[in-house]
Structure formats: C-alpha cells, structure tokens
Structure 1
Amino acid sequence: MRRFDNIDLRLLRVFATLAETGSFAAAQIVLNLSQSTLSTHLAALEQRLGGALCLRGRKGFRLTPLGEETVEAIQDLFESIDAFQSRISQAPTELGGRLRIGTIGGIINSPQMALQHVLARIVDQIPNVYIDLRLGVPQDLELQVAEGTRDVVIGPFARHAPGVHYVELCEEPHGLYCGNQHPFFTMKDADISKDMIDQARFSVRSYRKLEDLQRIRHPRASGSIVHMEAQLMMILSGRFIGFLPEQSARPYVKTKQMRAIKHNIYTFSSQHYVAFRNIDKNNCLINVFIDEITKNHRSTS
C-alpha cells in the first residue's frame, strides 16, 4: 500500500481546479498560473502519486482512471478538513489565539483600510491575541484564505473563490502618474498625445498586466511590479509611467515629485474586500476583526 505523507494541499487544489475546468487554458485563467507552472505542479503531483492523472492531445483533455479516483478522494479530503476546522473554530475556549491576516501593500495611508488602528483596538479588546500579519498580492491572498493558511485577507479580489465569503470594504481610486524627471511632467495634458503615451515606458502590476495595458490601450509593458511601493520607485525614477492608488501618490504629488496624467481619462476605481471562509463565520477572532475593520470604514466614509 502506497503512503502519501506530506502531500502539498496546494498541488491537490491545482489538480482539482484543472479537473473541474476541463482544460489547461481554463485552469490557467482561474488559478492565474502560467502554463509552465501549471505543468510543473501537475508533474510533481503525478510523481508523488505514482502515475499519470490526465491525458491531453488530439482527442482533447481527459482524466485517467487514477485521475478520476484522485478527484473524488480530493473532494472527500477537503470536506473532512473543512469539517475539522469548523469544529475546532467553534470549540469553547477563552477568547484569544492566533489571527492570521493577509493584506495587500500600500494601504497604511488609507483611512478606510489602514490596519494599524484596527489592530490597536483588537489587541485592547483581546490582550492575549497573537497577530500574524503578512503582505501579499491579491491572487495569492485569495488562494491562501481558500486553503485556510490565512484566516482573513484584504484586497481587490476579482476571482471570488468558492467557499469564501466576501464583504465589500471600499473603492480605491487609481490614476496614471509620471515622476518629475519624466518628459510628461512639465507638459500640459492637452499636449500629451496617445502616440506619446504608447511610446512611454509603462510599468504594470504583474498580477493585472493585461488589465493595465487595456486600460490605456498600451502596446507593451516595459516593467512590472508586485507591491505599490515598487511602483512608486518605478515612477519616481522618471523613466516610467504607471497606475497608482491616489492615496499612495498624494504625498508625492503634494511635494511635486510626481503628477497625474490626463486624470479625467486615465482613472479607475478598485473594489476592495475583506474575505474569510464560510466555515469560519462563527470564529470569534475573525468576527471581532470584521466588526472592527467595517466600523473603521464606516467612521471614515
């Protein structure tokens, strides 16, 4: 009998998504993974399980017998994990423990989303709470909360994973910016043509590359970032234009280190959510967090 100690749950979730979507192309979109990364994950799981899980070729995509059995076993496994976590989260205990929070970067100056005030009130209410706070990009955070490796996450989530509850938090306006060393900085908006925009080096968010390009119909990216702090550096270099949340750009606009470009045209708002798993709806720590961050949002709106 084969033993499967320490199988990465992420690999199982990736394969389950592949089986559900029925194609590598569709799974890439849902998981936000490249073809090579998806293939690597699949190969690693197949090696661990000792056989091919699916076939693809002229006849299209199909599961092998081992693949079909694995999908059914994955469903049973995750149902058992959810039941275990739900039972433990509702067990009687003194209010306290570990709260694992995940959030995007660049929100410290946002009145609606700045966590420093929320964390202060939570610690005052629950002195023995242990806060585990980490930064990440939206697709990773959404996957982490779905997998149960983060208890609650904050970000502009577009996919909406199954089994996860999303609470609307606020909309974050964005604009297109350049630094004071960029040729656009001293130009009037009316003198900046679409052709000039197309020729400018454009820094995109790596996790929203196509969206950023399509927003200004730019032909190509000349750089990419993950966190907004990195985007600030790219724009302040004076060699790139790029999108930034207005609240992140405001201090630098005020000191004339950057400016918005055609703000009446190149602007959009990103909806932010706070998300947690449906099975954790009775988790006391998570409920306290949700209450405090929504209270913070209402008081600053």
Structure 2
Amino acid sequence: MRRFDNIDLRLLRVFATLAETGSFAAAQIVLNLSQSTLSTHLAALEQRLGGALCLRGRKGFRLTPLGEETIEAIQDLFESIETFQSRISQAPAELGGRLRIGTIGGIINSPHMALQHVLARVIDQIPNVYIDLRLGVPQDLELQVAEGTRDVVIGPFARHAPGVHYVELCEEPHGLYCGNLHPFFEMKDANISKDMIDQARFSVRAYRKLEDLQRIRHPRASGSIVHMEAQLMMILSGSFIGFLPEQSALPYVKNNQMRAIKQSIYNFSSQHYVAFRNIDKNNRIINVFVNEIINTYKSTISEVG
C-alpha cells in the first residue's frame, strides 16, 4: 500500500477547484494563479500520487480514473476536517482557540468596520483566543480563506471562490486625490482639463491596475501600490494623483495636506465582505467574530441614521 505522508493540502484544494470548474482557464481565474503555476501544482500532486489526474485536449477536460478516485477521497478528507473543526469549535470557551484573520490595509480608518473594537469584544467573549491578524490584498486573502490558511477575511472581493461564504458589510466610497505639493492642489476643478489628468503621474492599485486606469480613462500608470498606506505616501509626495478611500483621506484633507479632484466625476464605491469557508459555518470562534463585525456595522449605520 502506498503511503502519502505530508501531502500539501493546498495542492489538493487546487486540484479540487480544477475539477469543480472543469477547465484550466476557469481554475486560473478562481485561484488567481498563472497557467504555469497551476500546471506546476498539478504536476507536483500527480508525482506524489503516482499517476495522471486529468487529461486535456481536443475532447476537452476530463478526469482520469485516478483523478475521479482522488476527488472522492478529497471530499471525504475535507468532510473529516470539517468534523474535526466542528468538534473543536464546540469545545468549552475556556479552551480558547486560534482565529486567523486576514484584512486589507487601511481598515482601521473605517467607521463601519472598526476592527479594533471587534477584536476587543471577541476577546471579552473568548479570553483565551489567540489572534493571528495579517494584512493582504483582496486576491490573496480570498485564496487564503479558500485554502484554509486564513479562517476569516475582510475586503472588497471581486471574485467569489467556490466553497466560501460571503457576507456583505458596507460600501466604501473612493475619490481621486492629490497632495498639497501637487500643481492641481491650488487649481479649481474647472481649470483641470482631461488632458492635464492624462499627463499627471497616476498611482494605481497593483491588484486593480486596469480598473483604476479605466475609471478615469488614463493612458498609463506611473506608479503602483498594494496597501493604502503606500498610496497615501505616493499622493502626499506631490508627484502622483491616485484613488483613496474617503475615510483614509479625510484626516489629511482636514489638515489641508490633500484634496479630492473633481469628486463628482472621479469617484466609485467598493463593496466589502467578510468571508469564511462554508465548512466553518458552525465554528464558534468564527461565528463570534462575524457576529461582532456585523453588529458593529449595524450600530454605526443606525447612529448615522
């Protein structure tokens, strides 16, 4: 009997997604992986299992007999993992546990999510919980929760991964900003032409580059960032214009360090979600966290109303 010690669960999830989507192209989109990376992961798993798992060609994508058996075994394995997690999540509160959270940068400025207050209330309810908080970009966070390396993630997720449950939180308005050292800062909006916008150095979000360019029909990017803190630095340098969440920009606008450019034209809102795997719906710690962040959002909305 062959032994399969230490098989990477990520490889199994990649193959399960490939089988579920039914094509390499679709799996690449869901997993946010390049074709070469996806092929490398599949080859590594096939080598470990000792045979081909799928075939692709003129007849299209199809699983081999080994691939079909592997998918059934993966489903059984994931069900067992779900059972394990469910039992542990129902353990007495004094046992505590680990909560691995992933979120985008700049969320501390959001009055609707107020993650720092949510964390405090979670710890009040589960004093022995171990909090593992990481920052990331939306695509990576979505992949991490689908793979199970993060328990719950928060962000503006454009692609909804299979096996992941998404709960709508709030819409975050964005504007186009310049710093007080930029030539646009002292100009009236009416005097800033589209040609001038096109000539300005434009800093884009690296993970949404094409979207940012399209929003203002800008011909090119002159810089890129991953976290909003980096975008703040780019704009405050006086060399770039760029999109920012209004809440992130607000303190600097109040201090006369930056301003929005043609806010009625250059604006958009991104929908934020809290996401976790379907198999974790009964996880006590995750439920406490999700309930607290939803209640925080509802209470801030009612206060504004």
- TM-score of the superposed pair, with normalisation by structure 2: 0.87
Note closer, same or farther for the CA distance 1:59–1:282 as it changes in structure 2 (3 Å cut).
closer
> What's the Cα RMSD here?
2.5
Q: CA-to-partner distance for each residue in 1:55-113, whole Å, 9 max, x for gaps? A: 44555544444444433333332233223322332345536322222211101121111
Gap regions ≥5 residues in structure 2: none
Note closer, same or farther for the CA distance 1:37–1:221 as it changes in structure 2 (3 Å cut).
farther
Note closer, same or farther for the CA distance 1:83–1:33 as it changes in structure 2 (3 Å cut).
same
1:284 aligns with 2:280: no
Q: Quick check: 2:101–2:151 contact (8 Å CA) kept in 1?
A: yes
Gap regions ≥5 residues in structure 1: none
Note closer, same or farther for the CA distance 1:127–1:67 as it changes in structure 2 (3 Å cut).
closer
Q: Distance in 2 between matches of 1:52 and 1:41?
A: 13
Q: Distance in 1 between matches of 2:44 and 2:192?
A: 50
Deviation at 1:141, TM superposition (A): 2.0
Q: Quick check: 1:175–1:244 contact (8 Å CA) kept in 2?
A: yes
Note closer, same or farther for the CA distance 1:84–1:95 as it changes in structure 2 (3 Å cut).
closer
Note closer, same or farther for the CA distance 1:296–1:23 as it changes in structure 2 (3 Å cut).
same
Using the aligned pairs only, state the percent identity. 91
Q: Distance in 2 between matches of 1:68 and 1:239?
A: 56
Q: Quick check: 1:203–1:223 contact (8 Å CA) kept in 2?
A: yes
Which SS does the other structure have where 1:166 is aligned? strand
Q: Quick check: 1:95–1:285 contact (8 Å CA) kept in 2?
A: no
Q: Distance in 2 between matches of 1:66 and 1:102?
A: 35
Q: CA-to-partner distance for each residue in 1:204-260, whole Å, 9 max, x for gaps? A: 222222222222222333322221111112222222222111111111222222221
Q: Distance in 1 between matches of 2:266 and 2:58?
A: 44
Q: CA-to-partner distance for each residue in 1:273-293, whole Å, 9 max, x for gaps? A: 222233333333223222322
Q: Distance in 1 between matches of 2:253 and 2:161?
A: 37
Deviation at 1:167, TM superposition (A): 2.2
Q: Quick check: 1:176–1:244 contact (8 Å CA) kept in 2?
A: yes
- TM-score of the superposed pair, with normalisation by structure 1: 0.88
Q: Quick check: 1:89–1:280 contact (8 Å CA) kept in 2?
A: no
Q: Quick check: 1:145–1:276 contact (8 Å CA) kept in 2?
A: yes
Please identify, of 79-88 and 261-270, the stretch whose mean Cα deviation from structure 2 is larger. 79-88
Note closer, same or farther for the CA distance 1:299–1:227 as it changes in structure 2 (3 Å cut).
same
